[in-house]
Amino acid sequence: MDELELLKKDWQSNTTQVEHQLTEKELYPMMHKKSSSIVKTLFYISVAELIFWIIINSIPYFSSEEYRAELASMYGNSGVLLGITIFSYAVILGFVYLLYKAYKSISVTDNAKRLMESIIKTRKIIKYYVIYNLVMAFLSMTFGLYYTVYENPEVSEQFAKFSDKQMFFAMVIMVLAIAFFVLIFWIFYRIIYGILLRRLNRNYKELKKLEV
C-alpha cells in the first residue's frame, strides 16, 4: 500500500512538472502573438487618428475663405500657420512610424527578454504621444481664447465693459472650459489607448514570470 502511494505521488509530481514545462513553452508564443496583435492595433488606431485630424482640419480650411483669413490673422500670417501645421503632422507621423517599428520589432523577436524590451518601448511611445497631445490641446485652446478675447473687436468691446468681478468670473469660466476639454481629450486617450496598454502590461508581467 505504501509503495502504491509513493508511485502515485511520483506520477503526480512528474505530471505537474511536465505540465509546467508545457505551460512555459506554450506561454511565450501566446504572449508574443497577443503583444504583436495589440501593437498592430495601436498602429492602426494612430493611422486612423492621423486621417481623422487631417479631414477635420482640411474641410473647414478649404471650404471657407473666411476661416482661412481668420486663421492667418490669428497666427500673424499664413507662413506661421503652415509651419505649425507641418510640425503637428510631423509629430503624429513620427509617432506612427515609431509604432510601426515597434510592431515589426515584436513580430520578429525570438525571446522573452527582447519582447519585454519592445513592450516597454511601446508603452513609452504611447505615454509621450498622449502627453504631447494633451499639452498641444491645452496650448491651442489657451491661445485661441486669448486671441478671441483680446484680438476679436466684438468680444474685446464686451470684455472692456466688464467690472473687475465680472472679468474674474469670466477668466475662471475660461480656465474651467479649457480644463474640461483637456479632460475630455485625456479620457479619450485613456479609453482608446489605456485598454490596449493594460493588456500589453499584463503580457509584460506574464513574460517577467518566465524570466524568473
**Residue 76: what are its φ and ψ, rounded to 5°?**
95, -50
* Residue 16 covered by a domain: no
Residue at 199 is within a domain = yes
Residue 107 covered by a domain: yes
Q: Would you say residue 28 lies in a domain? A: no
Tell me whether residue 7 is in a domain: no
Q: Is the pTM of this model over 0.85?
A: no
**What domain range is 166 assigned to?**
35-211
- Integer Cα distance of 203 and 212 in angstroms: 15
CA–CA separation, 182 and 84 (whole Å): 20
Which single residue is written with the C-alpha cell 482661412? Answer: 68
Residue 124 lies in a domain: yes
- Amino acid at the residue 121: K
Tens of pLDDT along 2-24? 554 544 454 445 444 444 444 55
Please state, as a whole number, how many other Cβ atoms lie within 10 Å of the Cβ of residue 75: 17
C-alpha–C-alpha distance, residues 49 and 52, integer Å: 5
Split into its structural domains, the chain has a count of 1
Whether residue 26 is contained in a domain is answered as no
pLDDT in tens, 109-159: 767 778 888 888 888 888 888 898 888 888 888 877 777 777 666 767 777
